[in-house]
Structure 1
């Protein structure tokens, strides 16, 4: 039974799927797998850790890291603590990252080893960050993710949640000026799909038997929204640290991916790979694309190669990804 129409918050979703899906795989990242039960357990630890750090409701925490299962555990843990996660575009320059951290008033910062140097460079200029935690890798001064997380209880925090609670603050660049912080509430990830289903539109028909390729980054609405749709369905989400075309094709074949999401430029890169015609893509039943127009020639070739249904969407960060 779908949770759409019955659950409208990330904390409740995590707890529900831990009971319903248990040891089924929620996330795959490289050689690691994370079950729905373990995801909820880690989310509870993270939430209790954030509360122990003195984080109040709507306090901002930030993450500077490429995608991984840890990043999504942090998302659900942050929601359970009623804090707001700021995912930072790791492609930005140091001063742009500094602006987002200060403008967003982030109090805790989770950063992976690849970006230690950037944070060390701007650390003296951070105005609100009270503590830095090494999400991946070891740092001489900052506590490691595992050491920090594992010292906290796995019990639920016991907080009350609302569909209107802000769970993420996403920065979207305008044509002028600094990036703008968009506040996204819990219900943004649920209501559109629930409304479509109530009208008899099952859209892509996501189920617990699906495996989703999550190739867009978590800091982008297209990536985080797609992964959460997978969790809502109780499906398996296969994460990429960052999109590399040949790796995406390998993951589709290896994990028998059934649903793929890409923007047209990613699709073009994948179709340009020499191995695309010899890779087993037969498991793919649905391909979601958007973000920019798609050239007719590219679309025709994609239909020929993937031989599946294609779904086009239009949206923006402010609408919680999909608007049409």
Structure 2
């Protein structure tokens, strides 16, 4: 085949195991033969709508097989998929559609209000509605596929051609479009296959959002490349997730810490059958020690990992054979990826010394879409991607993530890393969530403020907080104020929006 890209993967797998189950959604099973045919039909349909090589096809919706079918269909045409966060507002979607120059918007019926307004504002040519009745200005997704051709498509697509434009969460300013090539996606997918020993009999649960690189490139695509089964959930519900793990004999999954905590807090957790799980990746936010301990006691190997959208997402991974011995670490660099830790002068640090994590490898993004200035700023002169995260390497090469450089609090000349304090606060009985951030202070320049959420019926005063932390943390690290919230602001991947906390409580110090 002339097409060496990701779009051909269903066809290549269907040649070998056509009747194996590729996707399960709402208890309906889709074989590799059927997945290949649906991707081919969708590619023909998109071509009829005017989509060609390098054109962008955007998608916004809840988790659905259309994410994977659209990716493969776009790949067959040499087009570029643009998955968008389902929680975005209409102005945010409009920005992404305009910035990417998308020609087609595929969206769920449930998001019609946002999709229609955004498409009209951005001047989108065509809308396709998934899982709902199309309005007068759109066509139905399944109807489009059903009436399209099945002739095999084989355009020239190479590893240097763009596959995705994935927008960052945009915690500061407008989001940036991360361009991942077909080669970058291939190497990003191969990393977990090699490092986690993924098998052809994997049953992988995808309850995290498919617009996120972890759910797509670290779970779904590796499983499909190996010929396993991807069980797609529209969203995350802890009780249902526990049932699916037992019923489908789930072997592999990814979740952010809040998802794992929600499952362990569910009444069914104590009796849930988790014996099928071979490894469970946890990343995207600092993992509280109590979360790691809870699952270790149940025999589940929680493998911490670290990466970014820009690295597709993998950079570091803690493999199952080290999961207990190196608990709390994010592991070592992936097979195809290199990681270094450098000080402020760009000199590699010694083991035990903190510094910025920098990443290099074929899985790293090519560029930020139409942002040469931001692209230049993101890379060092010798080609390493600047993560903006602080890490420390031990004498065996395992890296522990300390915090974000931008979240570091400088108080009276002392560097304070919020993740360390958050872990200590989460050890207080009744504390469910915690985010520590810096607020201005006349004397010290900046001091810490702790935002927490509590279990029903639990009260916690600042005096209680301070009493718990004294003796556990140095005095200068203890937050100087406390706010109790109903919910801590987070983005779709579970990361705490500390920019919002700082804006909300800038005078809390």
TM-score by length of 2: 0.59
Tell me the SS of whatever aligns to 2:18.
coil
Greater relative contact order structure (CA < 8 Å, 6+ sep): 1
Contact 1:8 1:187 in 2 (8 A): no
Distance 1:123-1:204 versus aligned 2 partners, 3 A rule: closer
Where is the helix percentage greater, Structure 1 or Structure 2? 1
Note the C-alpha offset of 1:23: 1.0
Match of 1:42 among 38, 43, 48: 38
How far apart, CA to CA, are the structure 1 residues paired with 2:191 and 2:104? 36
How far apart, CA to CA, are the structure 1 residues paired with 2:139 and 2:267? 43
Q: Which residue number in structure 2 is paired with residue 134 of structure 1?
A: 129
* Stretches of structure 2 lacking an aligned partner (at least 5 in a row): 317-509
Kindly indicate whether residue 288 of structure 2 is the aligned counterpart of residue 295 of structure 1: yes
How far apart, CA to CA, are the structure 2 residues paired with 1:298 and 1:262? 12
Q: Which residue number in structure 2 is paired with residue 120 of structure 1?
A: 116
Tell me the SS of whatever aligns to 2:273.
coil
Q: Which residue number in structure 2 is paired with residue 14 of structure 1?
A: 10
CA RMSD of aligned residues (A): 1.7
Distance 1:190-1:122 versus aligned 2 partners, 3 A rule: closer
Tell me the SS of whatever aligns to 1:182.
strand
Distance 1:308-1:49 versus aligned 2 partners, 3 A rule: same
Deviations 1:168-202 (A, max 9, x none): 110002442111111111122322565788xxxx4
How far apart, CA to CA, are the structure 2 residues paired with 1:91 and 1:158? 35
Distance 1:285-1:253 versus aligned 2 partners, 3 A rule: same
Match of 1:78 among 74, 78, 85: 74
Distance 1:32-1:86 versus aligned 2 partners, 3 A rule: same
How far apart, CA to CA, are the structure 1 residues paired with 2:148 and 2:189? 35
Kindly indicate whether residue 148 of structure 2 is the aligned counterpart of residue 148 of structure 1: no
Q: Which residue number in structure 1 is paired with residue 235 of structure 2?
A: 242
Q: Which residue number in structure 1 is paired with residue 261 of structure 2?
A: 268
How far apart, CA to CA, are the structure 2 residues paired with 1:38 and 1:68? 16
Note the C-alpha offset of 1:270: 1.0
Distance 1:152-1:222 versus aligned 2 partners, 3 A rule: same
* Stretches of structure 1 lacking an aligned partner (at least 5 in a row): 1-6
Contact 1:189 1:229 in 2 (8 A): no
Contact 1:34 1:69 in 2 (8 A): no
How far apart, CA to CA, are the structure 2 residues paired with 1:145 and 1:282? 38
How far apart, CA to CA, are the structure 1 residues paired with 2:191 and 2:212? 23
How far apart, CA to CA, are the structure 2 residues paired with 1:192 and 1:172? 17
Aligned length: 312
The structure having more radius of gyration, on CA atoms, is 2
Q: Which residue number in structure 1 is paired with residue 302 of structure 2?
A: 310
Tell me the SS of whatever aligns to 2:200.
coil
